[in-house]
Amino acid sequence: MERLSEHEKRRAAERADEASPASAPKVAMRCEARGVHKAFGGTQVLRGVDLSVPDGGFAVLVGSSGCGKSTLLRSIAGLETVDAGSIHLAGRDVTRLAPRDRDIAMVFQSYALYPHLSVRDNLAFGLKLRGVARGEIEARVREVSQMLGLEALLDRLPKQLSGGQRQRVAMGRAIARRPTMFLFDEPLSNLDAALRAEVRVDIRRLHDRLHATTVYVTHDQVEAMTLADTLWVMNKGLVEQSGPPLEVYERPRTRFVATFLGSPAMNLLDAKLVRKGAGAWLAEGADLAVPLDAERFGSSLTEGREVTVGVRPHDLCVAQQGTTELGEIVVEVVEALGFESYVHGWARQAGPSIVMRLDTAAGSVRVGERVKLAAAPDKVHLFDRATGAALTS
């Protein structure tokens, strides 16, 4: 109930704000990282990363733990020094500048609110430091607290706030500064699932309103997919692929990117390429034969080539009359989620587990049943077995 009323409050505030020019967008700036290298002790964490975010863009750095995304973010902020490479903000080389001179605001994973200051003082801290006039400070604090629904909390201390409220104060603190760039370091990971979903939307809404350049780090692919203008998938200190989220999702360039995005993960199958006739190719493995679109892969198709086939669970379906069958699986586990189910089975007893998404409306399967699988050829991905790179024409 409480959330709902806050929600409404915010809507009202936004409507009011839209009328006033107080939150007019500031001139945003490009952010670029070129060839950044960083090592901690003996471990090389960043191996030459390039990043480019346009004015007002929302870039999301995503990857598993230890891939270097937080380090890259902190390097952009200036909290870490880079061993090689450079950082440019609004065309300026800021590699040697202290964080306080880069005009950025950061929201930390643990919010890092000042425990001894009230919410109001937390919001005003950065402004006071920069000698902003008292009237201006009050105006901005009011504006930000209205924006984020914090009016009732202004005199409380951080320890008297809930997790979600603290998160909003952390964002408010960043927003009040009106910086030219926002940096978010996994800000939602300490919230519960429902709150996470709600705040995610709020962040996107705020970004659209403020038009500020944002770099956002997360390990959660749902956040990555929903928030990003550009997605940057990182693995072991390098950017494996970047681009709009849907593109990265539908056309992964490496096996890692393919399996990282999408839940449940893409099914991977070790297979060999087999030519079945003129322009008809199959990838055979684990008692399955996957038909391939020869045009799509072009000259990468060679007889006997060892590949990994990838098909997302959502792209598998029960074979109907007239569709090309891939093979048969024996159902082992059925995860019923209400509107859909995930069916786990194996084609070969000792082979890999295949996961298929099944729409509840389309029927149900039972454990032990034999199900025939089919997939649209354009949804099949091929990766080189050794390098993991996607096969293209």
Partner 1 sequence: MRPRLWVLVLVALACALGLANTACEDITARTIVVWHAYRGDEERAIEELASRFEKAHPGTLVELLAVPFEAYPAKLEAAAPHGHGPDVFIDTHGRLGAYRREHVVAPTPPDVADPAQYDTIALDAVSEGGRLFAVPLSTKCVALYYDVDLLPEPPATLEDLVAAKLPEGTLPLAYEANSAYFHAALLSAFGGRLLDDHGAFAFDSDAGVRSLELVHELTAKHAIPAEPSGALVTQLFASKQAAAVIGGPWLRSDLGDKVRYRVAPLPKIARSGELMRPLLTVEGAMLTPHGATRPLAVDFVQFLGSKEAAIVLATVGHQVVARRDAWTDPALAGDPVLGAFHDAVRSSVPMSSSTRMQAAWVPANEAIEKALRGEDPRAALAEARRRFDDATKPPPPPSSPTPALVVLGLVLLAASIQIARRTRLADVKASLPAYRYTAHAVLVVLVLVVVPLLAGAATSLFAGSRDDMRYVGFANYVAILTARGGALLGHGSFYLTLLVTVLWTLLNVTLHVAIGVALGVLLSRPLLKLRAAYRALLVLPWAVPSYVTALAWKGMFHRQFGAVNALLGLVGVHPISWFSRFSTALTANVTTNVWLGFPFMMVVTIGALTSIPKEVLEAAEVDGATRWQRFWRVTLPLLRPALLPAVVLGGIWTFNMFNVVFLVSGGEPDGETDILVSEAYRWAFTRDAQYGYAAAYAVLIFGLLWLITRATRKWQGAGT
Chain residues that interact with partner 1, rule: CB under 8 A: 77-79, 98-100, 104-106, 108-110, 112-116, 125-126, 129-130, 173, 177
- Let me know: does 169 contact 111? Beta carbons within 8 Å: yes
From the CB of 138, what's the least distance to partner 1, in Å? 18
Q: Side by side, which strands form the sheet with 327-336?
A: 316-318, 370-375, 327-336, 340-346, 353-359
Nearer to partner 1 (CB atom), residue 46 or residue 113: 113
Nearer to partner 1 (CB atom), residue 98 or residue 278: 98
From the CB of 287, what's the least distance to partner 1, in Å? 52
Radius of gyration, alpha carbons of the chain: 25
Mapping DSSP to helix (H, G, I), strand (E, B) and coil, where does residue 385 land?
coil
Q: CA 246 to CA 255: how far, in whole Å?
A: 16
The per-residue DSSP string of 103-154 comes to -EEEE-TT----TTS-HHHHHHHHHHHTT--HHHHHHHHHHHHHHHT-GGGT
From the CB of 150, what's the least distance to partner 1, in Å? 17
Nearer to partner 1 (CB atom), residue 122 or residue 235: 122
From the CB of 341, what's the least distance to partner 1, in Å? 42
Q: CA 60 to CA 204: how far, in whole Å?
A: 12
From the CB of 213, what's the least distance to partner 1, in Å? 15
From the CB of 194, what's the least distance to partner 1, in Å? 25
Nearer to partner 1 (CB atom), residue 128 or residue 205: 128
From the CB of 103, what's the least distance to partner 1, in Å? 9
Write b or e for each residue in 350-361: b if 16 or more Cβ atoms lie within 10 A of its Cβ, otherwise e.
eeeebbbbbeee
User: At residue 345, what are phi and psi to the nearest 5 degrees?
Assistant: -155, 180
Nearer to partner 1 (CB atom), residue 108 or residue 342: 108
Nearer to partner 1 (CB atom), residue 107 or residue 283: 107
Q: CA 140 to CA 238: how far, in whole Å?
A: 39
Conformational region of residue 53, where left means phi above 0, alpha means psi within -120 to 50, and beta covers everything else: beta
Nearer to partner 1 (CB atom), residue 157 or residue 238: 157
Q: CA 373 to CA 327: how far, in whole Å?
A: 6
